[in-house]
Structure formats: C-alpha cells, structure tokens
Amino acid sequence: MTTLFISDLHLSTDRPEKLELFRQFISGPAKDADKLYILGDLFEYWVGDDDSTPPNPEILSLLRSLSEAGARVFVMHGNRDFLMGDKFEEATGATLLPDPSVVLLYGEKTLLMHGDLLCTNDTEYMKFRYIVRDPEWQKLFLEKPLQERIAMAKQLRAASKEAMKDKIPVIMDVEQETVEQFMRTHHVHRLIHGHTHRPAIHHFELDGQPTTRIVLGDWYQNENILVCNENEQKLVPVQKFLTNQ
Ligand code: MN
C-alpha cells in the first residue's frame, strides 16, 4: 500500500488539460492508495467555501469520491487556497492539515509544509502572508460579496506575477537556515514540501544525522507525484504514474 503526495496543482478552468489529468489521477490509481496528501495550492485561488464557480464543485466531488473509495485525504493550505474551511472538509471528506504538520510516514517522523514559510528571503511576501493569515483580516474578507473577493484574488495574482519578475531566483527558493530551524523545532530528519516549483530530493546532514528534503513539483510543466511505501520514496511524473497502473 502506498502514500501519495502532490502539491501546487493550481487547478483552474484556464488549464483544462491539468483538470483532465487530475480527473484521471483521482478516478484512477489514487483510489489504490492508503493516503493522499495535497500539500497546498490545489486551487489557483480559493476565496471562500461558498464559491461554487467551476471548477470547484467538480474538484470537491472528485475528492469526495476518493474519500468514499477508502483513501484518507489530507489537504494543507497553500498561499493561494488558505481560505479552505469547514465546508470544504464536509464536502470532500478530506481533513485539513495545519502548516506545518508532523506525521509518521512508515515509522519515520516527517515534517509536512506547503513551503512558503521556508522562503524567508522574500521579506515582502512574508509581510503579505502575515496580513492575510490574520483571522480578523480573513473574517472581513469573507464578509465581502463573492464577486468582489474573486476580483481581489485575480488582482493579487496579477500583482504577484508582476513582483516575481523582479525577484532573483534565490529569493523565491527556501532558505536553508530556515529549513534547519523548522526541522530542529520538530525533531525530524525528513521534510516534504512544495511551493517553490523546484522538484528534487535533497540530502544533507543535520546535527550529524542524514537528512532529506523532498520538494514536490507543480502542475505546470513539472507535475509529479511522490510515491511512498515501506521501502522507498520516489518522485514520479504524473503521466508515467497513470500509465504504469
Ligand atoms: Mn505556493
């Protein structure tokens, strides 16, 4: 039996081919997994559980069908979809995981994060994150009419794209010191995260012990899936994962 990890799908009607890939994945091999972890940015944006514009209803029901087939589904907030709440859980049968979370993965304590908290070189983003993760800010935002919230999300997306143009790559990657701090705080030697769109398995030493940081790919060009079982953890392209079943 396997445990699967994906992140940064950024599902939206703008990229129907990735929606189709997600459909095939959920109604196909994902059903054979014990657990599926989605580590943030499942959606391009999520402005509240009351937003039932496409593709949201279909994605909710796909996740529901997976839960009903017997897989446990865990979803973490990303920087795009951090407003998923109770109704999202009810509709999908999934469990929302706090960021960071520690889970036991085949006997090894493993830290799970979306990854944006690790990008501390990007001080501008960290300030923005602090504001929008404030419960008071979220309460006021969710009280706004749906169309206004959608417009704001689109505006923020455009502004962030614009800001990213001026950022050098090192700012948009994790800071190693921050990675080590989080891992020490949680007493782990394995971390799995997404967000940076730089899929890789990094090995290094932390306090004299072999340590692994696994980075998931995004569903733009690098869509992959982390497949874990008792013996191994491997990053596999989603397309290959689908055809090997
Ligand atoms: Mn992200």
Span 111-119, mean pLDDT? 98
Q: Is the peptide bond before 135 cis (omega within 30 degrees of 0)?
A: no
Span 129-148, mean pLDDT? 97
Please, what is the end-to-end C-alpha distance for the chain in angstroms?
13
Angle, alpha carbons 183-188-192 (nearest 5°): 75
pLDDT bracket for residue 245 (50, 70, 90): low
Span 94-106, mean pLDDT? 98
Closest residue by Cα to residue 1 from 96, 67, 60, 72 = 72
Span 103-110, mean pLDDT? 97
pLDDT for residue 244: 81
Instruction: Report pLDDT digits (tens) over 40-81.
Output: 999 999 999 999 999 999 999 999 999 999 999 999 999 999
Cα(100) to centroid of ligand 1, in Å? 14
Beta-carbon neighbours within 5 Å of ion ligand 1:
41, 78-79, 195
Q: Domain of 155?
A: 3-244
Q: Looking at 77-166, which runs of residues are DSSP E strands?
A: 95-97, 101-105, 108-112
Strands 224-228 and 233-237: antiparallel
Cα(157) to centroid of ligand 1, in Å? 12
pLDDT for residue 222: 85
Beta-bridge partners for 60: none
Cα(208) to centroid of ligand 1, in Å? 31
What percentage of residues in the chain have a pLDDT greater than 70? 100
* CATH code of 205's domain: 3.60.21.10
Query: Picking from 1-10, 99-108, 152-161, which range would have the lowest pLDDT averaged per residue?
Result: 152-161
pLDDT bracket for residue 110 (50, 70, 90): very high
pLDDT for residue 221: 86
The structural domain count of the chain equals: 1
Residue 111 has pLDDT above 70, yes or no: yes
Cα(231) to centroid of ligand 1, in Å? 29
pLDDT for residue 11: 97
Residue 142 has pLDDT above 90, yes or no: yes
Cα(230) to centroid of ligand 1, in Å? 28
Closest residue by Cα to residue 36 from 69, 85, 72 = 72
